[in-house]
Structure 1
Amino acid sequence: MNAPDIAMRPFSMMRAFLATEAAGGMILIVSAVFAMIVANSALSQIYVEALHYHLGGLSLLHWINDGLMALFFLVVGLEIKREVLDGQLSRWSDRVLPGAAAAAGVVAPALIYVLVNRNDAAGLRGWAIPAATDIAFALGVLALLGSRVPSSLKIFLTAVAIIDDLIAVLIIAFFYTADLNLVPLAGAGMGLGILVLCNRFGVRSLWPYLIIGSAIWLCVLQSGIHATLAGVAVAMTVPLTRTPGKPDDQNSPLYRLEHGLHPWVAFLIVPIFGFANAGVSLAGFAPTDALASVPLGVSLGLFLGKQIGIFTAVWLLVRAGWAERPRDAGWRQIYGVALLCGIGFTMSLFIGGLAFGEGSHQNDAAKLGVLLASIISAAAGYVILFTTPNRDNLDLKAAIEKAH
C-alpha cells in the first residue's frame, strides 16, 4: 500500500461518525439525568407503570430493549464490518493496539467483579456487566475537551469501544442465552442464508435485507437467543462495495444503511434506552448499599478494571515495540482516555438486565454501580485530559517563543 492509498482511507466517515457519536453522547447524558430525576420524583409510579404497559404481548420496556435496541446492534454490526474491511481496523497493524487494549479492558473488569462477588453465587451472574465501554457517552465527554485531545486518541477510543462491543455481543450470545427453541432458530438461519445469497449475487437494494432482517429478528425473539443479536447477524450480510479511489463509497449498501440509521440510533434510540433503563429509585437504598457486592463489583470493575487493563496493555505493547503510541498523544492523555473507557452506560445496563432480570433488586443495584462508575470515570478522565496540554499546542507555543 503506497502513501496516497493510506491517505485515502476513510477518515471522512470516521470524522462524521465521531461528530455524531459525540453529539449523541450529550443527549444520552441528559436523558440519563432526566430518568434519575423522574424515578426519584412524584412521577416515579407513572414512569414504572408506563415502562411495564403491555402492547402486542410485550411491555414497552421489552419493545425498547429487544426491539429498538436491535437497530442499535445492527448499527454496531455495520460499524464493525466496515472498520474491519475498509476502515481503521482493516490492517493487522491497526488492530493490535486497540484489540489488545479492548481485550484487557474486558478481562480486568470481569476479574475484579468476580473477586468482589466470589461469595455471592447469584451476583456472579453479572460478571460481564463492566465489560463494555459506552462509545457515545465517552465521545460526548471528549467533545467537551475540543482540541485538548489529539484526534488519534479519539480514533483509538472509538476502535477500542467498537472491539469491546463485539466482545460484549459474543458474551451475550454465549453466556446470556436462555433455553433454545430450535424451530424459530432454524427459521432465522434460513433467513440469514437467503441474505448471504443476496449478498453473493450482488443485490444492492436495501429492502430485501430490511424485510428479511425483520423476519429474522422475529424468529430470534422466539428462539431463546436475545433478539438484539439478530441485528449484528443481519449486518454481517449487508454488502460493502468499494470503488477504487473512493473509500467512502456513498452507493455502497452498507454505507447507505449505516448513515441512514446512525442519526436515529444516536439521537433517538439510545437516549430512549437510557431514559428507560437509567431511572433507579433511590428510595429503597441506603448509602451503604453502594458497598454491597454487586454494585461494588460493577463500580470497581468499570473504574479500576478498565483503566488498569487498557493502560497496562498499551504500555506493554509500546514498550515491547509491538505497537506505536497514538500519534501526538502523551502517556498522561492515554491514561485519561483509559479512564473514560470506564463509562459503561448503555451496554452495561443492557447486560445487567439480561443477568438479573428487569425490575429485580439486583438489577437496580447493578444500575447504581454502573451510574456511579460512569460518573466517576467521566469526571476523572475529563480532569486528567483537561489539565494535560495538547502536544500540538505545546509545539505551537515553542515555535512562537522561538520566533520572538
Structure 2
Amino acid sequence: MFVGICPRRPCAPGGSVPPTPRQFLGRLPLPERRFLADALRAETVGGILLLAAAVVALVWANVWPGSYTQVSGFHIGFDTPLHLDLTVESWAQDGLLAVFFFVAGIELKRELVSGELRDPRAAALPVIAAVCGVALPAVVYTVVNSGPGGHPAGWAVPTATDIAFALGVLAVVGTHLPSSLRAFLLTLAVVDDLIAILIIAVFYSSGIKGWALGAAAAGLVLFHLLQRFRVRGWYLYVPLGLVVWALTHEAGVHATVAGVAMGLLLRCDREPGAEHSLAEQVEHQVRPFSAGFCVPVFALFAAGVPVNAHALAQVFTHATPIGVMLGLLLGKSLGVFGGSWLTARFTRAELNPELTWSDLFSVSVLSGIGFTVSLLISELAFAPDHALVEQSKEAVLVGSLVCAVLATLLLRRRNRVYRALSDQEDASTA
C-alpha cells in the first residue's frame, strides 16, 4: 500500500541494469488514495466517538459509580445450552467486538489478496514493523514484572495499536498527515490486529469444549461453501454468523475469533464488470456500524475505571501498570521504528525524499495508543482479579494519553510540511 517503485535507472557498463531500490513511504497511486480516504473517513469518525465514549465512561464511573456498575453488570439474554445469559459488559466485549474483528478480518483478507501484503517484498516492512511493535512491548512488560510483586500474565496488554483512537487524535489536533504515513499506520494496525486475535485465541482460551468447537468449525465450512458457490442473501449469512459466534463463545474460545474467521472467508475477487468485490461491499456497509457504534459502546463499558489520587499513585508505583505504560510508550515506539529502519536498511529501500525518519518515529509513537484491544486483553489476562484489571486499564489510559500528547507535539512540528504534501495529493486527485 505504501511502498512505491523508483524510476528505472540507466544501464550500468556492460549493459546490465542495476537493481532498482524500492521507495519507502512513497506517494500512493490514485486508486489507493481513494480507498484509503474512504476507509479512514469511517475510522476517524469512529475514533472521535471512541474518545467521547471513553470520556463519558470515566465521568460516569467516577461521578455515579453505583449506577455504572449496576448497568454494566445487568444481565441480558437467556440461559440456554449455549449459556447466553450475559452482562451488558460481556455483550459489549464478546458480541460487539466480534463485529470489530469481523471488519479487521475483511481488511486483512483484502491486504492479502489485492493489497500491500500480496507482495512478499512489499509486505516485509509493515509485517516486520508490526511484529517488532508487538514483541518489544511484551519484552518490556515482562522485564518490569519479572521480580517480586510482578504479574507476567499481562505481557500482551501493551502490544496492540488502536487505529481508530489514533485517527481520532489526528482529527482532533488537526494534523495533515500525508496518505503514505496514514497508509503505513493502517497497514501496521491490520497486521497488529491479526497478531492480537492469534494471541487471544492461543493464550486466553480455556476450558475448550470439543463439540461446540467442532460445530463452530462446521458452520465456518458452510459459510465458506456458500461463498464459493456465490450464494447471496443476508438472511442466510446473518443467522449463520450468529450461530457460529454463539458456538465459538460456548467452546471456550473468545468469541471475537469467530468474527475475524468469517471476515477472512469473505470473497475478495471481483465479479466481471463489478466495481467492488463482495468483501469490499460488506466492509463498506458494516464498518460504520463497527466504528460508530460497536467500538464506542465497548469503550463505554470498558474504560470506566476510578481516576483519583490513590488510583493514579498505584499506576506509577506497581509493576503491572508500569509495565503496561512503558510497553506502550517505549516498547511500541522503539519496536515499530526499529523494525522499520532495520528492514529498510537491509532491503535497501529508500525513504521518500519528501519525508524524514523523524516522521516515521512520530507515527511510531502514535502507534503506542493501545485502547480497544488493550482493554479487552486486560479483562482476559487478569480476570477475576478486579483490582489488577482496573490497574491495567488505568495504565492503558495513561500510557495512551502520553503517547497521544507526545505524538501530537512531534507531528505538529512538521504540520506545515504535511499540509503542503496533502495539498499536492489533493491537486493530483482533482
TM-score in terms of structure 2 length: 0.85
CA contact (8 A) 1:302 1:344 kept: yes
| Partner in structure 2 of residue 400 of structure 1 | none
| Partner in structure 2 of residue 44 of structure 1 | 65
* Count of aligned positions: 391
Deviation at 1:394, TM superposition (A): 6.9
| Partner in structure 1 of residue 23 of structure 2 | none
CA contact (8 A) 1:104 1:313 kept: yes
Residue identity opposite 2:374 in structure 1 = S
| Partner in structure 2 of residue 271 of structure 1 | 296
Residue identity opposite 1:78 in structure 2 = I
Distance 1:366 1:87 in 2: 35
Deviation at 1:321, TM superposition (A): 3.6
CA-to-partner distance for each residue in 1:233-273, whole Å, 9 max, x for gaps? 11122222325787xx33x3212211111111111111111
Distance 2:308 2:397 in 1: 16
User: Secondary structure of 2:233's partner?
Assistant: coil
1:235 to 263, 267, 270: 263
**RMSD (Å) for aligned C-alpha atoms:** 2.5
Distance 2:150 2:253 in 1: 21
Residue identity opposite 2:46 in structure 1 = G
| Partner in structure 2 of residue 401 of structure 1 | none
Residue identity opposite 2:55 in structure 1 = V
User: Secondary structure of 2:118's partner?
Assistant: coil
| Partner in structure 2 of residue 342 of structure 1 | 368
| Partner in structure 1 of residue 133 of structure 2 | 105
- Any stretches of 5+ residues in structure 1 without a counterpart? 398-404
CA contact (8 A) 2:270 2:278 kept: no
| Partner in structure 1 of residue 343 of structure 2 | 317
CA contact (8 A) 2:311 2:391 kept: no
Distance 2:69 2:422 in 1: 54
User: Secondary structure of 2:117's partner?
Assistant: coil
CA contact (8 A) 1:240 1:253 kept: yes
| Partner in structure 1 of residue 24 of structure 2 | none
Within-5 A mapping of 1:60-99: 60-99=88-127
Deviation at 1:345, TM superposition (A): 0.4
| Partner in structure 1 of residue 35 of structure 2 | 13
Distance 2:353 2:189 in 1: 19
User: Secondary structure of 1:343's partner?
Assistant: coil
CA contact (8 A) 1:54 1:60 kept: yes
Distance 2:422 2:236 in 1: 53
Distance 2:113 2:407 in 1: 31
* Cα 1:395/1:60, change in 2 over 3 Å: closer
Deviation at 1:323, TM superposition (A): 3.3
Deviation at 1:2, TM superposition (A): 11
| Partner in structure 2 of residue 373 of structure 1 | 399
Q: Work out whether 1:253 is the aligned partner of 2:278.
A: yes
| Partner in structure 1 of residue 80 of structure 2 | none
Distance 1:9 1:358 in 2: 48
Deviation at 1:391, TM superposition (A): 4.0
1:118 to 127, 146, 169: 146
CA contact (8 A) 2:56 2:300 kept: yes
| Partner in structure 2 of residue 306 of structure 1 | 332
User: Secondary structure of 1:236's partner?
Assistant: helix
Deviation at 1:10, TM superposition (A): 4.1
Residue identity opposite 1:262 in structure 2 = R
* Cα 1:327/1:83, change in 2 over 3 Å: farther
* Cα 1:358/1:342, change in 2 over 3 Å: farther
CA-to-partner distance for each residue in 1:276-307, whole Å, 9 max, x for gaps? 10010135834431120111000000011001
| Partner in structure 1 of residue 222 of structure 2 | 194
* Cα 1:21/1:327, change in 2 over 3 Å: farther
Distance 2:354 2:271 in 1: 32
| Partner in structure 2 of residue 351 of structure 1 | 377
CA contact (8 A) 1:50 1:60 kept: yes
User: Secondary structure of 2:116's partner?
Assistant: coil
Distance 1:46 1:120 in 2: 37
Deviation at 1:231, TM superposition (A): 0.4
Deviation at 1:86, TM superposition (A): 1.7
1:361 to 387, 412, 418: 387
Deviation at 1:79, TM superposition (A): 1.1
- Any stretches of 5+ residues in structure 2 without a counterpart? 7-27, 78-84, 424-430
CA contact (8 A) 2:33 2:179 kept: no
Deviation at 1:382, TM superposition (A): 0.5
TM-score in terms of structure 1 length: 0.90
User: Secondary structure of 2:40's partner?
Assistant: helix
| Partner in structure 2 of residue 28 of structure 1 | 50
Residue identity opposite 1:289 in structure 2 = Q
* Cα 1:234/1:281, change in 2 over 3 Å: same
Distance 2:386 2:172 in 1: 35
| Partner in structure 1 of residue 356 of structure 2 | 330
* Cα 1:145/1:34, change in 2 over 3 Å: closer
